[in-house]
Amino acid sequence: MAYLDHAATTPMLPEAAAALTDRLGTTGNASSLHAAGRRARRTVEEARETLAEALGARPSEVVFTSGGTEADNLAVKGLYWSRRAADPARTRVLASPVEHHAVLDAVHWLGEHEGATVEYLPVDAHGRVHPEALRAAIARDPDDVALATVMWANNEIGTVMPVRALADVAAEFGVPLHADAVQAFGQLPVDFGASGLAAMTVTAHKIGGPYGIGALLLGREYSPVPVLHGGGQERNVRSGTLDVPAVASFAVAGRLAAERREWFAREIGTLRDELVDAVRTAVPDALLGGDPSPEGRLPANAHFMFPGCEGDSLLLLLDAQGIECSTGSACSAGIAQPSHVLLATGTDPDLARGTLRFSLGHTSTREDVEAVAKAIGPAVERARTAGLT
């Protein structure tokens, strides 16, 4: 099989799997005061320190969650509630229209149920929010803005956002900026302290760690209203008994993602470029989604639009030949409608239905690229023929 859907999830690193299994048989609640609890707490705090170092943060800024979706919800909803509580006039939420649904649906929910005025920031043809667009949106009435949220890098088309410049604009007006960095961690130089962000989301299973564990990087001056109430284990903003084995495994994966990032960007980026060239050679009218400049997109992302094709048909044709990819976000798979990301960039809806995302990872090989090069031309021809019948 040629697995080219690493943006959905990537295989666990052997080191992370070993860290997980080594602790599965160990008993101890990290909130207990006896010896077993203290051992579990030590594992958690050492993992917190490791992740903080990998992400350019202080250990106290790492809040463990059940994954990226929970972290996004805690950031968006929690910051909105806390800012509105301090000043009831702050009800405007600014968001890019190309966000992952974990952010988009949370923002939409605030508008439907919590009195938020949701405003979507304009993006260019590559899906990028520019600092001047954020400035114009905030400047219309800085006193009513609760928060802004713009992802670090897009999960579908791979476009990288100017996070530091956006954070600088937000800081001028005292507006907290959150970024979903789920796709960026391990591929781009992610440094929470240097970013200027108020909050940042990461998750383990995109970097070779286990499912069901993630983190919200949260500036110490921010106290979002909790989404989950209970024991207040994580800085009193997130409750729940910590999954100690998963936390330990996440830390190992995070450390290795940071240590190997330059290798990953260079080697996997080279494979990505070869894949792009192979697809363009086999299907000359294929259109590359996102920023065409390699430095403006994730090194592991190759997103294409194929005129006259249905993306689902292409996906199944490739799957039958042992090539696993996607049409976009895994969270939207099977939904018969064009990608909201592509529509936001101004892409024609018919063209937006004929997409494939090839996303590479630490197990990708040149043989994977060669398999795509061999299969994509006949698959597109067959899909187009089927579309005419």
Q: Which amino acids are annotated catalytic? A: 331
Angle of CA points 265, 270, 275, to nearest 5°:
125
Task: Tell how far CA 269 is from the center of its chain.
Answer: 18
The torsion angles phi and psi of 52, rounded to 5 degrees, stand at: -60, -45
Burial label for 14, CB within 10 Å (0-12, 13-18, 19+), is: exposed
Task: Tell how far CA 318 is from the center of its chain.
Answer: 25
The torsion angles phi and psi of 325, rounded to 5 degrees, stand at: -140, -160
Give dist(CA 188, CA 294) in Å, integer. 12
Query: Where are the strands (E) in 137-210, listed by range?
Result: 145-149, 177-180, 199-203
What tokens were used for 350? Answer: 């018919």
Give dist(CA 23, CA 25) in Å, integer. 5
Residues in the chain: 389
Give dist(CA 224, CA 236) in Å, integer. 9
- DSSP per-residue string spanning 231-277: S-TBTTTB-S---HHHHHHHHHHHHHHHHTHHHHHHHHHHHHHHHHH
Contacts of 277 by beta carbon, 8 Å cutoff, 6+ apart: none
